[in-house]
Homo-oligomer: A and B are copies of this chain.
């Protein structure tokens, strides 16, 4: 059903006022602040219609209206005018980033911090994932007679490392040979290929090093698998406590608990398939986020998706602003990562 123009304006007014105040919006308020030419009574009639259609709801009889998830959805899809991101903010993102050249980890943490600071909500960021790219290089570095540091570098520029203890001492030459062998076989592979890698086959060609490789390989694999899901950064947890919706301690508690569970955050971020994904309240896959909204977006290296970022806030989120910030952020991230890693 097509909504009349005035209904749309009223819905917009309700949503935007509610986003600002977190208080139910009444007909008088709308008549005074938004549709000055229309009387409260008329607006009341329209509101009754909007409620019938499921776009707004009433917390209790004598209160104003608040938007429903469906209302927010319509707002985001059709009504909201995509605010061009504040130039100042855009400048901040650009500037801050170009100072953080170097370590990818740091860049990603920084992105998370910026997201939460600019939006005043909570940000989560998934660092570049191996599963979404390939293995670039493995370097084994001898740190003790019988201890080796494995440095694993991915296409996406993430570096993982693991200390491996050996049963016997190893010579630098042997180490070099093993390094070469591993790189020959594994460089360019993605996680699936590595996980299903035919170790037996390689061992046949590894005269003299069978024992060492048998010892090293499982640990390398473990490190890869672990780091592929664990690299999640958060920021702005405290921001949420500023919101009136979390005045209820038990709500805040549940929520914080969820945010400490990285596997949940991973799931939320990993589901992002589109460039930008908006989940409003009950639309959320993750049960614990059913009364929040989650804006996620992916970033890319050389056009290939490697990770994602997200902002979590209340359903009365400043969608327009958050979307533009998240968008600007992933674009910058993509750009810089691509630049760092491909020249």
Contacts and interface: CB of A to CB of B under 8 A. Distances in A.
Interface in A134-179: 136-137, 139, 141, 143-147, 149, 151, 153, 157, 159-165
A153 B147 contact: no
A343 to B, nearest CB: 6
A103 B144 contact: no
Interface in A172-230: 219, 222-223, 226-227, 230
A79 interface: no
Contacts of A102: 162-164, 219, 222-223
Where chain A touches its partner, the secondary structure class is mixed
A13 to B, nearest CB: 30
Interface string A303-343: 00000000000000000000000000000000000001111
A143 B219 contact: no
Given A144-B341, A145-B343, A260-B236, A139 B160 contact: no
Nearest to A163: B340
Interface of A: 101-104, 106, 136-137, 139, 141, 143-147, 149, 151, 153, 157, 159-165, 219, 222-223, 226-227, 230, 235-238, 241-242, 246-247, 249, 252-253, 256-257, 259-260, 340-343
